[in-house]
Structure 1
Amino acid sequence: MTDWKTQTWFGHDIDAGQHRNTELEISESYSGRNIAIPLRVVRGVEPGPTVFVTGALHGDELNGTGAIRSFLADPEWGPVRGNVLMIPVLNVLGFERHSRYLPDRRDLNRCFPGNASGSMATRMAKVIFDEIVAKCDFGIDLHTAAVRRTNYPNVRCDFKNDECLRLATAFGAGVILDGRGPKGSFRREATAAGCPTIVVEGGEVWKVEPSVVDCMTRGIVNVLQELEMIDGEPEVPENQVKLKQTKWVRAERGGFMDMHVSPGTTVVKGQPLATNSSLVQEDQNRLEAPFDGIVIGMTTLPAVQPGEPVIHLGKLSSPKTVRRVEKQTQADEVQRTAQEHLSTNVQVVEPMD
């Protein structure tokens, strides 16, 4: 694709400045019909990087789909420079079944870079990797929490990769987690192949949550501005918090949980997180914060058994940092609104003495 004026994408010649809806064939159905991923190629009028933006790599995680569709609804939207591949649903087979997984129960996000002669999942991953990742310079992969959980909007990337950290910082979610991702995951293998990729987490499965979509859409624009693909300066919160350590606080007893925090809440060590009791309010057991931190995820199912995850806590360095992060969140409308909206998905009560 050395000629910028006209490039061939997925079998179509697309001119600079043109938008084209097309699809990428990835497999065949039991009836022998082609299975394809719908997408839009959005080309700028001037040369620049090529970026993919993907949603629903897990087929039930739809906030990213909603964010991407908000761009697709505007036929005039697009970069001035470079190309953007907008892919609302990457895992179309999982999406059709309202499922995280493929029909064979494999997790597509553990199958990259794929294998042309392997399982259905690895064959699909191979096509996606060869036809999308290998032709892009950067990637943004949009996710939600798994079923029966919710996540406060955050970005995840490999802090050791300068370009990944650059994208994550520019995205401006306010919270950035360090990590390459599991072996075989989309972001890890794409980054290793020379396409720095970040993951964005926010909200719940099976929903399109407006405050999470707002965070994702702002972040996508921010990244494209950072890469000088569109004009303007990224709208980035001051003093974004970078987390290198997280911990799931798990239930010690079976029973019903009364939550004392919600997604995005900052806590100090020893602060009550949740109280567990029987259905008739007996045998109370309290979970407390093991360190100063911020709630980056939590269960949305109040009934638990021993060992089940309840609160996903990101470690902050000190109570002073806790206060700074809380102040930063309140100063940024997008983060503040996400925190307020996500808190309505769980019942939060004051702990009893």
Structure 2
Amino acid sequence: MKLLGAEIKLGESKIIELELAKLHTRNNLYVPIIVERAKAKGPVLLLIGGIHGDEVNGVAIIRKMIKYGINKPTSGTVICIPVFNIFGYLNQTRQFPDGRDLNRVFPGSPNGSLASQFANQFVKEIGPVVDYVIDFHTGSADRDNVPQVRCVLSEEKSFELAQVFGAPMIVHSNYINKSIREALFKLGKTTLLFEGGKSKNIDPKVVESGVNGVRNVMSFLKMSPDIKPLQKSKVIIKKSHWIRAKHSGMLHLKATNGGFVKKNEVLANITDPFGEFEKRVTATNDGYVICVNTSPIVNRGDALFHLSIEHSIIT
């Protein structure tokens, strides 16, 4: 196979560099791409971390896979891009230097912004080579996501792969306009989006869930020896919504992230710093808590709890 002009033969390992930018300081900036190709032919699996530079759990997941050789298949090819957005990773921000969200500019343009040009290069040079993609993300800011995989539930191949992955929850998610997931879907690729934890934070349980999920997928695709699933998805979220703060103040969480709550159950209290009021935040319906805002101070209108509206249980 050929990738970015480099030939990778059967049984070969190679690190390829994707040029991100030519800096005015006469330095070139590259994104390292780690390719492991087995001696036997098979599917091509792409693992992407850090498309938002401050979402480091995905970087940690791919790093652990490389350290322990999990990314070395017995058949097929595994391509790892641990840090997709090098600029954002170094500065611990979501955006590119041009202020754009890299995950909202695909498929990009060769004559567009810096982010758009990079996205276009990926779509033309790497996208067509792969068969399956797992894109790792976390909650933004102080939002802490339960480990979950997102896909369109009506798409048979994506849903099957989501079940195989084995995260605690599978969440229905339509394609977002100009996201990398949408761009890969238009190329005919099967893509999963993994969400777990929050930005600027490494959560060992989230990392473990991500690594185990990739191992399950590789086993299912016959890219590694058959293994008994390390965990099984039990909850499928078909529809969900956000519960928002009706008051500003200090947030005191009571609900457990990932737990099931009943309608009118107290999820949190919001208080002022002077001891004059204490307001309850209650569940609007029975459902599973998918994500929790962990900020100690919130403003009226802030999203506090991502709660399922329609769900089912796999037994």
Q: TM-score, normalised by structure 2?
A: 0.94
Runs of at least 5 residues in structure 2 that lack an aligned partner in the other structure:
none
Query: Which of 23, 38, 43 is 1:29 aligned to?
Result: 23
Matched, 1:315 2:298: no
Aligned mates of 1:43, 1:119 — CA distance in 2:
34
Question: What is the Cα deviation at residue 83 of structure 1?
Answer: 0.6
Q: Which is further off, 8-17 or 225-234? A: 8-17
Q: Which is further off, 21-30 or 169-178? A: 21-30
Aligned mates of 1:9, 1:238 — CA distance in 2:
34
Query: Which of 212, 219, 234 is 1:218 aligned to?
Result: 212
Aligned mates of 1:141, 1:176 — CA distance in 2:
15
Q: Which amino acid in 2 is paired with 1:29?
A: L
Query: Which of 181, 203, 228 is 1:209 aligned to?
Result: 203
1:192-203 matches, cutoff 5 A: 192-203=186-197
- Whether the 8 Å contact between 2:288 and 2:308 is mirrored in structure 1 is yes
Matched, 1:143 2:137: yes
Q: Which residue of 1 aligns with 2:164?
A: 170
Question: What is the Cα deviation at residue 35 of structure 1?
Answer: 2.0
Matched, 1:78 2:69: no
Aligned mates of 1:251, 1:276 — CA distance in 2:
8
Aligned mates of 2:145, 2:220 — CA distance in 1:
25
1:1-353 matches, cutoff 5 A: 7-75=1-69, 77-233=71-227, 235=229, 237-238=231-232, 240-317=234-311
Q: Which is further off, 58-67 or 69-78? A: 69-78
Q: Which amino acid in 2 is paired with 1:291?
A: N
Aligned mates of 1:167, 1:75 — CA distance in 2:
22
- Whether the 8 Å contact between 2:50 and 2:137 is mirrored in structure 1 is yes
More helix by share: 1
- Per-residue deviation, residues 60-80 of structure 1 (Å, max 9, x unmatched): 101111111112113585111
Q: Which amino acid in 2 is paired with 1:53?
A: L
Question: What is the Cα deviation at residue 30 of structure 1?
Answer: 2.7
- Per-residue deviation, residues 8-31 of structure 1 (Å, max 9, x unmatched): 333333221222122111322232
Runs of at least 5 residues in structure 1 that lack an aligned partner in the other structure:
1-6, 329-353
- Whether the 8 Å contact between 1:221 and 1:234 is mirrored in structure 2 is no
Task: Give the count of matched residue pairs.
Answer: 315
SS at match of 2:14: strand
Instruction: Report runs of 4+ in structure 1 exceeding 6 Å deviation.
Output: none
Question: What is the Cα deviation at residue 238 of structure 1?
Answer: 4.7
Identical residues among aligned pairs (%) = 32
- Whether the 8 Å contact between 2:170 and 2:233 is mirrored in structure 1 is no
Q: Which is further off, 287-296 or 136-145? A: 287-296
- Per-residue deviation, residues 158-206 of structure 1 (Å, max 9, x unmatched): 1222111121111100211112231011112211220111100001212
- Whether the 8 Å contact between 2:176 and 2:182 is mirrored in structure 1 is yes
Aligned mates of 1:123, 1:153 — CA distance in 2:
31
Alpha-carbon RMSD across the aligned residues, in angstroms, is: 1.8
Aligned mates of 2:48, 2:114 — CA distance in 1:
20
- Whether the 8 Å contact between 2:163 and 2:233 is mirrored in structure 1 is no
More strand by share: 2
Q: Which amino acid in 1 is paired with 2:60?
A: G
Q: Which amino acid in 2 is paired with 1:103?
A: P
Aligned mates of 1:113, 1:32 — CA distance in 2:
28
SS at match of 1:100: coil
